[in-house]
Copies of this chain bind each other. A is one copy, B any other.
Amino acid sequence: MRNKFDMQLDSLKEQLTNMGELCEVAITKATEAILEGKEEQAREVILADEEIDQAEKDIERLCLKLLLQQQPVAKDLRQISAALKMITDMERIGDQASDIAEILLSTDLKMEMNNKDIGVMAQAAAKMVRESVRAYVEQNMMLAKKVMTADDEVDRLFDKIRQEIIEYIAKENGDGGEDAVDLIMVAKYLERIGDHATNIAEWVEFSVTGNHRIATEVHERKSAGEVK
């Protein structure tokens, strides 16, 4: 028979999945809005950010309830702690999607920013978010590692877009530079979303194995005498 803790954990995973979907939709809609100049859609993304903030609060409350009432240990404890940390990254992903949408509303975009790479980058970032949350739900280390690897591709796309835009500004002698800078900004926010999805994947690793990159790094720096 399944105990109460397991049932509450299922509910937690369901809520995380829903929050992840809200983030994914926000990324896709914000990028589409900016690439196609859809102002109303940009406003929707900004409003939806409040839903994401609320989801974080609800999940945090559930996690604290689980910690206090069930006093979990070992892997159960790690799963709840990981969820508590993950939602901070998910909330930041919502913020970044909202920041992308804000760019459309706060500037006079003259140039249509139909940049194919930005679309590819947005898809890749949204996929990372989806898979990092799924990796947690399934406690699937392989999938978590896949997300970490996917971040290299998102970083590469950012470098590529940045380089293209720098070359564009140089070639055009600064004409249209403002729109070009807006485009770099969008790419930067997408790159940060990739970082947050990677953080989520690292919390999955902690949840499954008990290891976390930051803990390992501090340990290594301690051994090297850098940290007291």
Mark A residues whose CB is within 8 Å of B. 53, 88, 92, 95, 99, 162-163, 165-167, 169-170, 172-174, 177-178, 180-181, 184-185, 188, 192
Give the chain B neighbours of A99 by CB distance below 8 A: 192
Give the chain B neighbours of A185 by CB distance below 8 A: 184-185, 188
Q: Give the contacting residue for A177; candidates B92, B166, B174; CB below 8 A.
A: B166
Q: Give the contacting residue for A184; candidates B53, B172, B173, B181; CB below 8 A.
A: B181
Oligomer copy total: 2
Q: Is the interface of A mostly helix, strand, loop or mixed?
A: helix
A178 and B192 contact, CB distance less than 8 A:
no
A177 and B181 contact, CB distance less than 8 A:
no
A162 and B178 contact, CB distance less than 8 A:
yes
B192 and A166 contact, CB distance less than 8 A:
no
What would be 19 A-B contacts, judged by CB atoms less than 8 Å apart? A92-B95, A95-B95, A99-B192, A162-B177, A162-B178, A165-B181, A166-B174, A166-B178, A166-B180, A166-B181, A167-B174, A169-B169, A169-B174, A170-B170, A170-B172, A170-B174, A184-B184, A184-B185, A185-B188
Q: What's the minimum C-beta distance from A112 to chain B, rounded to whole angstroms?
A: 19
